[in-house]
């Protein structure tokens, strides 16, 4: 949605400052309530194995903030020349990779056997596999691209099935929980106000071939996202890809109104399905067209109209 929707109303700066301050306080209070839940901080998890690497304890940094390095195998081998227990020469060593983690088991001439791990563990899972999966998802990349990157470097990477297992088991639930917590704080702050919202959809492909569409509603005064709805073409209430924008907006408005939000004005593009929805189902909401979309339409139509041949007058 374009920022030109700010022409719909001129926000009171003092009101906006107060809203931002109150929202920050509410969010902090909600976060504090979750701070006692150790599932929100993997470093503090009570189920963590006792053999976890001590690096995070020594540095007092969360694992995701600890610096990681790209180490060549030839340089790693130099570290396993002498036994860490007695200092004698290592006579045998072997490596084993688990996704992005490598472990080295070495035996010295006096029979001491030691195993070194390149990463700490979280619930018997290497931290690097979890963090790499999170980095792929949060950066908007794809596993296929990162796998190609790793293959070119000849660098071990977790398997595709393991990536999706981590995504489905840990990452998506965590992101969803955090969004729900954040959204609850936003709605509690804005619920007493008459809202002026901006809405627009984004699909995975242009035209009539979209399979997924997400619809976002933003408060034009505070620029806060109030709701997002993701729809698939396979959903029973969706007739075709063009209708997904209308259905997604309907879901968003139903959620906000059922949450007690008072929507005064909504600015959207000129989607015909959206116009019909607002006229028939939400007549109490003032529906306006976004200035940016109107200007874009005029810019597109003007050259075409000017190039049309004028019909001779009779």
Q: Residues of the chain with pLDDT > 90: what percent?
A: 63
Does 132 have pLDDT greater than 60?
A: yes
Tokens coding 185: 């704080």
Tell me which DSSP letter residue 125 carries.
Answer: E
pTM above 0.75, yes or no: no
Q: What is the pLDDT of residue 206?
A: 74
pLDDT tens digits for range 37-77: 333 343 434 333 444 444 444 457 899 999 999 999 999 99
Tell me which DSSP letter residue 21 carries.
Answer: H
pLDDT tens digits for range 167-188: 999 999 999 999 999 999 999 9
Does 203 have pLDDT greater than 70?
A: yes
**Angle between the N-to-C axes of helices 244-258 and 272-281, in degrees from 0 to 180, rounded to the nearest 10:** 30
Q: How many CB atoms lie within 10 A of CB 44?
A: 12
Tell me which DSSP letter residue 82 carries.
Answer: B
Strand order in the sheet with 101-108: 90-98, 101-108, 113-117
Tokens coding 17: 């400052």
Helical (H) or strand (E) element with 224: none
Mean pLDDT in residue range 302-314: 64
């Amino acid at each position: 949605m374009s920022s030109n929707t700010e022409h719909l109303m001129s926000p009171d700066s003092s009101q906006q400052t107060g809203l931002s301050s109150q929202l920050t306080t509410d969010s902090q209070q909600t976060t504090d309530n979750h701070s006692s839940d150790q599932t929100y901080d993997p470093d503090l998890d009570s189920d963590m194995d006792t053999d976890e690497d001590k690096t995070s304890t020594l540095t007092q940094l969360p694992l995701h903030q600890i610096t990681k390095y790209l180490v060549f195998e030839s340089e790693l081998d130099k570290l396993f020349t002498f036994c860490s227990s007695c200092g004698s020469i290592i006579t045998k060593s072997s490596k084993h990779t688990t996704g992005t983690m490598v472990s080295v088991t070495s035996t010295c001439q006096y029979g001491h056997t030691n195993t070194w791990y390149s990463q700490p563990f979280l619930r018997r899972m290497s931290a690097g596999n979890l963090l790499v999966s999170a980095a792929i998802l949060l950066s908007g990349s794809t596993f296929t691209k990162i796998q190609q990157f790793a293959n070119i470097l000849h660098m071990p990477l977790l398997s595709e099935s393991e990536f999706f297992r981590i995504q489905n088991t840990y990452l998506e639930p965590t992101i969803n929980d955090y969004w729900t917590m954040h959204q609850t704080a936003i709605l509690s702050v804005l619920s007493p106000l008459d809202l002026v919202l901006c809405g627009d959809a984004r699909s995975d492909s242009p035209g009539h071939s979209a399979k997924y569409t997400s619809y976002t509603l933003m408060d034009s005064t505070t620029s806060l996202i109030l709701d997002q709805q993701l729809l698939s073409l396979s959903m029973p209430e969706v007739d075709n890809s063009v209708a997904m924008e209308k259905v997604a907006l309907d879901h968003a408005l139903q959620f906000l109104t059922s949450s007690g939000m008072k929507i005064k004005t909504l600015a959207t593009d000129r989607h015909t399905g959206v116009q019909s929805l607002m006229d028939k189902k939400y007549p109490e909401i003032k529906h306006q067209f976004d200035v940016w979309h109107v200007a874009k339409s005029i810019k597109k139509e003007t050259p075409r109209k000017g190039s049309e041949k004028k019909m001779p007058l009779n």
